[in-house]
Structure formats: structure tokens, C-alpha cells
Amino acid sequence: MNQEKNKDALVCINGRFTPPEEAVVSVFDRGFLYGDSVYEVTLTYEKVPFLLETHLRRLDNSALGIGMNLEWSPTQIKDLIQRGLKHFENDRLYIRIMITRGAGEIGLDPGLSDGQNLYIIFKELTPQPQKYYDDGVSLITAGILRNPKKSVDPNVKSGNYLNNVLAISQAKEKGAYDAIMLNAEGNVTESTTANIWILENDCFITPPLEAGLLGGITRATLLEIAKKNNFQVKEENFTPKRVCGAQEVFITSSTREVMPVTQVDGQVIGNGKPGPRTRGLHDLYRQYIQEVIGQEKKKVPWNHD
């Protein structure tokens, strides 16, 4: 493929690289028809994919969670990502890896698939506006509940995201950045695409996996960073009322890192400004990023042509 550098996006389909406008997916693909797929999103710092092996392990776990044994190995996927990165000059990229159960005859039976399809989307990363970190963002509590674990387990990162789509739609209708999703017991799980944290009595608290949420990689990393730095931290159920009464609130994800929340359901959090403990944890997380990227650059020649 003769793909010029400095283009802002690229797609890999089953090992073949193509410009986005030429990327074609079969209408019989089960990912398209039923959301019968799993995916991961990571990003690059200094053109190095961040915690890629961790993301690929979770991709495999998600696939097992829907009864799908991946036909693509982590080594194959990493090699394709390395090839794809060579088409960009930009150091900050968004990478989305999707594997569907494949195409075949129309019908719910997974056995109708004729083989899995791998899609990797590369595009230049659009950074979150700095004002979100300077001023914080607002959330609402959605009326749409998170999937229960005995339905489609939220800890499986699958293509089934309609309840999240409906929840973010509610947030946008009310002028909010994102929406908090509750479980059937009325406890907080996460936002539509991020984990949520509160600071209460100087203790960082985030919902447990049992509440019904995706075990975010950034979430897991921050739990370790907090413990390593002797911060009080725990996984515990809490309600929207406790969120509104918290000292500080923030959400976390790979592309957001640590984003402060200063308003929930129209109620101001703390003094209405990003809290010092949130900022401090974000600083520690960014130090961790630099350490990891430095180690990765010594191991894998991501920047080599």
C-alpha cells in the first residue's frame, strides 16, 4: 500500500492496510449485525503504544467472556500495530483494535461465522481540551442502567454499547460531559466510557468490580499508584448522593488519564474547582507514564522505519 505519511488516519483489515475511505466491512459481519465483537483502545506517547500487552490480555479475556477463542495472536497484533505506526509522523495516536466473530449466514448461532475479522483503526489523537482539566467537567446520573453481570458482563469489552449510547445521549441533552450509570441496586458503576472515583475523608474510593463495571486499566494502575504512595484507597459501593457530597470527584480512562469532575446533577463538588488530591494523583500517573514509555522504548523499536 502506498500510504503517505502525515495522513491523519489509517485502517488495517486482517493485515491489509488501507486509507479510511477505502476500508470496507461486510454487512454480514456479526460485529455489524449483532455487536458480536470485542475491542480495546489504547494510545501512544512518543509514538509508543501505552500498556499494549495489558490491553491485549484484556482483549483475550473479553473474547473468552463471549465464548470466542481469538484466532489472532498478541504477537501478530503487535506486529501490525508496529507497521501501522510507521505511516505517521505524529507522536500521539489513538489505536482501536476490534475482533469480530466474522461474517456468514444471518442468524444468532455463533457457529454460522466463517472466521474472525481483525480491524485496527489508527488516527491522530485529538487531545481533551485543557479547560476540562483546569475547570473540571460536569456529569449527570443517567436513567439508563448498566448491564447486569448476568446479562452482558460489563467487564467484557464487547461491541454491545447501546445502553452507554443512550446514557451519553441523556448527558448531552442536559449539557453535561458524561453520565454516571447505576446498577439495579442504585449504586454507582462507572460513567459511559470511564471509571469514577470520589475522595471522601481523604480516602480515594472507586466502585468494586462486583458492582458491574469494566475493570479499567487506568483504574487498576491508579489503585497501585495510590497504595504505593501510602494514600488511603478502597473499592466500595456508593450512591449518587455520596458522589455529590464528596470532597473531590474524577473519572479515569486511557485517553482521559485523570479528569476532574466539578459538578454532578447540577450540584457543585467541593469548591467547584479541581481538587488538589486529584491533581496530585494525576501528576503521579503522568510520572508513571513516562517511566513505562522509557522502558518500552528500550525494548521495542516503535520509532524505527
95-130 pLDDT tens trace: 999 999 999 999 999 999 999 999 999 999 999 999
Same domain (yes/no): 139, 200 = yes
Same domain (yes/no): 140, 172 = yes
Boundary of a domain, candidates 65, 93, 124: 124
Does a structural domain hold residue 301? no
Same domain (yes/no): 256, 173 = yes
Does a structural domain hold residue 233? yes
Q: For position 291, what pLDDT does the model report?
A: 95
Q: How confident is the model at residue 184 (pLDDT cuts 50, 70, 90)?
A: very high
d(CA 60, CA 69): 8
Does a structural domain hold residue 298? no
Same domain (yes/no): 68, 207 = no
Average pLDDT over residues 145-173: 93
Same domain (yes/no): 136, 232 = yes
| Burial label, 149 (beta-carbon count in 10 A; 0-12, 13-18, 19+) | middle
d(CA 132, CA 291): 25
Same domain (yes/no): 77, 32 = yes
pLDDT in tens, 198-255: 999 999 999 999 999 999 999 999 999 999 999 999 999 999 999 999 999 999 999 9
Does a structural domain hold residue 257? yes
Boundary of a domain, candidates 95, 124, 153: 124
Same domain (yes/no): 100, 225 = no
Same domain (yes/no): 143, 255 = yes
**Domain total in the chain:** 2
Q: Which helix (H) or strand (E) holds 292?
A: helix 276-299
What single string gives the DSSP state of each residue in 63-80?
HHHTT---SS-HHHHHHH
Boundary of a domain, candidates 102, 124, 146: 124
Domain region containing 96: 9-124
Please tell me the pTM assigned to this model: 0.93
Same domain (yes/no): 146, 243 = yes
Same domain (yes/no): 115, 171 = no
Same domain (yes/no): 105, 137 = no
Same domain (yes/no): 218, 80 = no
CATH of the domain at 152: 3.20.10.10
pLDDT in tens, 126-148: 999 999 999 999 999 999 999 88
CATH of the domain at 119: 3.30.470.10
Does a structural domain hold residue 3? no
Name the CA radius of gyration of the chain, rounded.
20
Does a structural domain hold residue 237? yes
Q: How confident is the model at residue 149 (pLDDT cuts 50, 70, 90)?
A: confident
User: Which of 213, 177, 176, 197 has its CA nearest to residue 247?
Assistant: 197
C-alpha cell at 179: 453520565
